[in-house]
């Protein structure tokens, strides 16, 4: 069953998603060597509750934390831990909130300090692929057009591994609604997109193999070859000529830029362009 959202529902979903963006921005300001991901998770929980919302991930199918925090070869669904972050780590933060009964869901990947050019490139291409997918989230396109755009930019043009076993998803009153939004697929295939469909698009892209496995905690997904993985996610509403992005990277990118411990090559390149 696919639920198309009214304009009022879209505005509620925007509020939820902007709170997610604000939450990730708060964490972005705190990332540095020596900080634990459990500390970041605690901050997220406090910030979400201080803003009158509930963490959407906590308790979802038994997930025990506020955020999925996935470091280096962890792709997604990472458990926050007591391990201290270090220079060179690549850390994806994925979180969700429930506000007024509507769910927000977004994710962003950060690099701590100087990371090598290949990793910078993986992050940049993955983020670009998200926006290439979003360009296809318009009335008249199909889910497969979004999937194809992401796969084309990451796998075909850059040789990266596109994770097959996890996908984006519809979002609304529930964190995961129909339809699935795979990051690989054929143009012109799948559900025809209609106005008011709200979907979370979230490329999960590995520098090496696309194959992944679940870790000992039964949640964290790792690349099979130990290669670095990147993950960016926006929740968007399908509209006629241009998707409306409900989450925002603006506060996150501003925090990333202001934090001297984070590498923001992508922003520098954008400014130079």
**How many degrees, rounded to 5, is the angle at CA 196 between CA 194 and CA 200?**
95
SS3 at position 49: helix
Q: Which 203-262 residues touch Mg ion, going by CB under 5 A?
A: 233
Closer of 107 and 134 to Mg ion (Cβ): 107
SS3 at position 58: coil
Q: Please count the CA atoms within 13 angstroms of the CA of 137 that sit on its side-chain side.
A: 29
Does residue 105 bind Mg ion (CB under 5 A)? yes
Closer of 190 and 203 to Mg ion (Cβ): 203
Least Å distance, CB 233 to Mg ion, is 5
SS3 at position 95: strand
Does residue 76 bind Mg ion (CB under 5 A)? no
Task: Give how many residues touch Mg ion by CB under 5 A.
Answer: 5
Among 41, 73, 94, 155, binds Mg ion (CB under 5 A): 94
Closer of 154 and 235 to Mg ion (Cβ): 235
Please give the C-alpha separations between residue 23 and each of 16, 49, 223, in angstroms, as whole numbers. 11, 11, 27
Query: Where are the strands (E) in 59-176, listed by range?
Result: 67-71, 74-76, 90-99, 102-111, 161-162, 168-170
Among 13, 28, 53, 107, binds Mg ion (CB under 5 A): 107
Site pattern 171..200 for Mg ion (x: CB under 5 A):
-----------------------------x
Site pattern 118..157 for Mg ion (x: CB under 5 A):
----------------------------------------
Q: Which residues pair with 227 in a beta bridge?
A: none
Closer of 104 and 261 to Mg ion (Cβ): 104
């Amino acid at each position: 069953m696919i639920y198309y959202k009214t304009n009022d529902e879209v505005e509620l979903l925007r509020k939820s998603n902007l709170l997610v963006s604000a939450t990730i921005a708060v964490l972005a300001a705190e990332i540095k060597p020596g900080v634990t991901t459990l500390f970041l998770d605690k901050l997220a929980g406090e910030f979400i509750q201080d803003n009158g919302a509930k963490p959407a991930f906590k308790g979802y199918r038994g997930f025990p934390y506020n955020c999925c925090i996935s470091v280096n070869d962890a792709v997604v669904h990472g458990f926050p831990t007591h391990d201290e972050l270090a220079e060179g780590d690549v850390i994806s933060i994925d979180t969700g909130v429930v506000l007024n009964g509507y769910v927000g869901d977004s994710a962003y990947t950060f690099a701590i300090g100087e990371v090598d050019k290949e990793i910078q490139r993986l992050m940049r291409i993955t983020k670009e692929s998200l926006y290439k997918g979003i360009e296809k989230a318009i009335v008249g396109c199909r889910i497969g057009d979004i999937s194809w755009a992401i796969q084309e930019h990451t796998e075909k043009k850059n040789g990266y591994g596109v994770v097959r076993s996890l996908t984006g998803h519809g979002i609304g009153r529930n964190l995961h609604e129909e339809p699935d939004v795979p990051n690989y697929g054929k143009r012109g295939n799948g559900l025809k997109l209609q106005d008011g469909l709200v979907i979370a698009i979230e490329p999960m892209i590995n520098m090496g193999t696309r194959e992944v496995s679940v870790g000992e905690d039964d949640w964290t997904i790792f690349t099979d070859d130990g290669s670095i993985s990147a993950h960016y996610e926006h929740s968007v509403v399908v509209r006629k000529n241009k998707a409306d992005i409900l989450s925002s990277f603006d506060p996150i990118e501003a925090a990333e830029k202001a934090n001297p411990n984070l590498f923001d090559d992508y922003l520098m390149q954008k400014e130079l362009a």
